[in-house]
A and B are shown apart, each in its own frame.
Chain A
């Protein structure tokens, strides 16, 4: 008995460890978590570690690109033991699973006594996740990483980074501010101390903001709330990674041995079952549903349940998915990509605000890789990367776009390309980005995100006979891509006045958006960046030659 209790404790310790590791890496996904000398700033920890362990991300990447990006081969660490042992990952490691496990333990009106036991029996709707898996894999085969909408890590990191954590950051500041401004010395000191401690560890230096982030937060909250009806509903019914590991467990060597003779149908095993895999003595065990949490073994007063290697047991292996359902999933995945690509984003006229981060691949290559994990948006020091809502059409939902009005792309920064787990934003160095040393210093062209344009009907020197030049001041390339022309203008009193009107030189502009960010006309800037001229798209260019080539001609 003692030994068994220890196994449960071991599992809990393991779950807590990986959840804390996950949260630590998530919080450190930012400039605060970076290191290195001034000219080569990198992440201190492999903050995208959990994505590297994700066999679903790896499989989707392999199917869509016929290759495995960088560290994704690490996912074998989860997949291979999973093939031998079963879905231990879901019960022991997965941080999303651990969160659901925690909330699944909460009591509710809908989950007590008989209802609770019944809710933990195997249900046919648990097979939904296999249909989802088949659909996202079919989509991957057709070159779209839609799987990111459902991948548990993508979902969790996206909801936490773009909504829950910024919300907590706001809440913490809202509580700390009145404490710090208190007239009572003790309270003020406590507030100051808390502020300093939280700033050094978890608080953001600047409050992050994300467009429609609240939707992403609500998705996670609803999924967690479903635990009040059915324990780990997400893991049982929806998670495509769980489905993948369930299928992978088909030939696993570990089985649940049920000693039917000693079972007295007390149903204690069902009470604590996480996977809904029928550990109870009278029904066949569903191997692909079991998370190997070992709660049933621990709960059985008769010691009738044992996990054993190399046994022939009466059990249901594999997804148990009727062919018709499987075909429906396949059809959905196969149909999704052509239907989505018949939208405008893949056509001639893209949304002008579809500005991708530096290092992003050409759009169809990008969409075949991006799992919408939001790591790039979390790490961006300027809060510049935002989840796309309509800029990239439905297929690009929650992929990263640069929103210069909120933040511009920092010239020497390449952190988004460093944390991207799938190569949608290919790793580049600040030197390859080519904005720092100045154009003409390197033989290569810099990475360009788009091109800036002035709106002369709003620009102060153009429209209002007023000095400004802030766009030129902020332009980070050298020689500057914004040049000034001294002109004599007439102001409202009819008097003549000398001032400098800005022009963009598109051969030098890299599309960083600093001018748009710095423009005093904040809500509708008089200089703005659009995607035209982005170096990733041969079909989205203006000039015949740019930069270096121009100089040679």
Chain B
């Protein structure tokens, strides 16, 4: 019978082996036990930036341009406001925020006019921007919205980066508002050096109209259908967080009824107008008055915004230039 005893040397090695494994297991267990904490939501980051540029007394703060070619309207408006280089510096990252919320074609006037976007992109490149990004967080399926709105093709043709709302690229952000605190914000909007808001003017049942302020809904992810419960305060909270360099309200085609989705050509009115400027409150107040005959006193969010110091509801006191192109 073969001797099954181990040598002393082997016995020591066996003991060392099992003791090592035991010590390792115990160490790992205590280390993991020490790490145990109640899972907490990702902390909201404070990333608020002011994208505005200083006001010049010599230049208008609002321009209203009327004409046939949407691109010419943009060129004229930016020229009247002092030229694009007043707003965009060399090597800036510029983010454009059109309205690309709905699965609609340009003629249905539910999304921003693609020609307006294309021309703004071109102007930004001329000012020497490093990156020009076009993005929105759509309501309808995003790929369809970006394609059918014509904005994806128009912006890409001018060399812009078109970024679809990838669900993986939202960041929890502290908006620091009265009703809006921690919300997921789409990352590209947080990377901007300069931010240009380019909404389209449309009817809306709860706020009367949806213009520049309401366009900021499109930076948010999460369950934003809850915002309507306190829509006026939500709008002001968002506008106080975003602070754009420039706002261009596309009134080339406006949606008079059945907004914000429309769908019926009968709801659309051809106004061939672009309203641009640096006072977001005055711009919204002007467009609401000019095309819907709504007084800013009846638009609660504008009153709240003025109280927050975001602009002036009395647009007549704001230096304005009107131009009609032949």
CA of A480 to CA of B262, assembled, Å = 8
Contacts A413-B144, A479-B258 given; indicate if A39 touches B105 (C-beta within 8 A). Answer: yes
Task: Please tell me if the beta carbons of A473 and B204 are within 8 angstroms of each other in the complex.
Answer: yes
Interface residue ranges of A233-254 to B (CB < 8 Å) = none
- Complex contacts, A379 vs chain B, CB 8 Å: none
Interface string of A385-406 (1 = CB under 8 A from B): 0000000000000000000000
Pull 29 A–B residue pairs with CB atoms less than 8 Å apart, ordered by A: A31-B141, A31-B143, A38-B149, A39-B105, A39-B148, A173-B168, A205-B143, A205-B164, A207-B167, A381-B143, A412-B103, A412-B144, A436-B263, A437-B265, A438-B266, A441-B265, A466-B229, A468-B229, A469-B206, A469-B228, A470-B225, A473-B206, A473-B260, A478-B261, A478-B264, A479-B257, A480-B258, A520-B223, A520-B226
**Contact of A381 with B168 in the complex, beta carbons under 8 Å:** no
Across the interface, B267 reaches (CB within 8 A) one of A173, A466, A475, A478, namely: A478
User: Which DSSP category, helix, strand, loop or mixed, fits chain A's interface?
Assistant: loop
Task: Name B153's closest neighbour in chain A (CB-CB).
Answer: A38
The 3 A-B residue pairs whose C-beta atoms are closest, nearest first, are A438-B264, A478-B264, A38-B148
Q: How large is the interface on B (under 10, 10 to 19, 20 to 34, 35 or more residues)?
A: 35 or more
Q: Which chain B residues border A412 with CB–CB below 8 Å?
A: 103, 144, 148
Set of chain A residues within 8 Å of B149, measured between Cβ atoms: 38
A467 to B230, CA, bound (A): 7
A500 CB–B CB distance under 8 Å = yes
Question: Is A476 an interface position by the 8 A CB rule?
Answer: yes
Question: Known: A38-B148, A381-B144, A410-B140. Contact between A518 and B225, CB under 8 A?
Answer: yes
Residues from chain B with Cβ under 8 Å of A449 in the complex: none
Q: B191 → chain A, closest Cβ, in Å? A: 14
A540 beta carbon closer than 8 Å to chain B:
no
Residues of chain B within 8 A (CB-CB) of A81 are: none
Which of B106, B142, B223, B225 lies at the interface centre, i.e. has the most chain A CB atoms within 10 A of its CB? B225
> B177 within 8 Å of A by Cβ?
no
Q: Which residues of A contact B147 (CB under 8 A)?
A: 38, 41
Residues of B within 8 A of A (CB): 103, 105-106, 139-144, 147-150, 164, 166-168, 204-206, 223, 225-226, 228-231, 257-258, 260-267
Q: Are A467 and B143 in contact (CB under 8 A)?
A: no
CA gap between A473 and B141 in the complex, in Å: 16
Q: Which residues of B contact A469 (CB under 8 A)?
A: 205-206, 228
- Please give 7 more A-B residue pairs, beta carbons under 8 A apart, in addition to A177-B168, A469-B228: A31-B144, A32-B143, A173-B168, A381-B143, A436-B263, A473-B228, A518-B139
A306 and B293 CA atoms in complex are apart in Å by 89
CB of A359, distance to nearest CB on chain B (Å): 18
Q: Does A262 contact B (CB under 8 A)?
A: no
Say whether B144 contacts A410, CB under 8 Å. yes
- What is the total number of residues of chain A having a CB less than 8 Å from a CB of chain B? 43
Q: CA of A87 to CA of B94 in the docked complex: distance in angstroms?
A: 62
Closest to A380 in B: B141
Least distance between A334 CB and chain B CB atoms (Å): 44
B84–chain A nearest beta-carbon distance, Å: 29
- Are B228's CB and A468's CB within 8 A? yes
Q: Are A470 and B143 in contact (CB under 8 A)?
A: no
A537 to chain B, nearest CB (A): 26
In the bound complex, residues from chain A placing their C-beta under 8 Å from that of B167 are 206-207
Q: Which of B143, B166, B263 contacts A437 (CB 8 A)?
A: B263
Near B by CB (< 8 A), chain A positions 417-450 give 435-438, 441
Residue interface mask A222-235, B partner, CB < 8 A = 1: 00000000000000
List the B residue with the shortest CB-CB distance to A206.
Answer: B167
Residues facing B in A171-227 (CB within 8 A) are: 173, 177, 180, 205-207
Residues of B with C-beta under 8 A to A478: 257-258, 261-264, 266-267
Give the chain A neighbours of B148 by CB distance below 8 A: 38-39, 41, 412
**Cβ contacts under 8 Å, A38 to chain B:** 105-106, 147-150
Most central of A382, A437, A474, A478 by chain B CB within 10 Å: A478
Nearest residue (CB) in B for A484 is: B205
Q: Which of B142, B150, B205, B226 contacts A205 (CB 8 A)?
A: B142
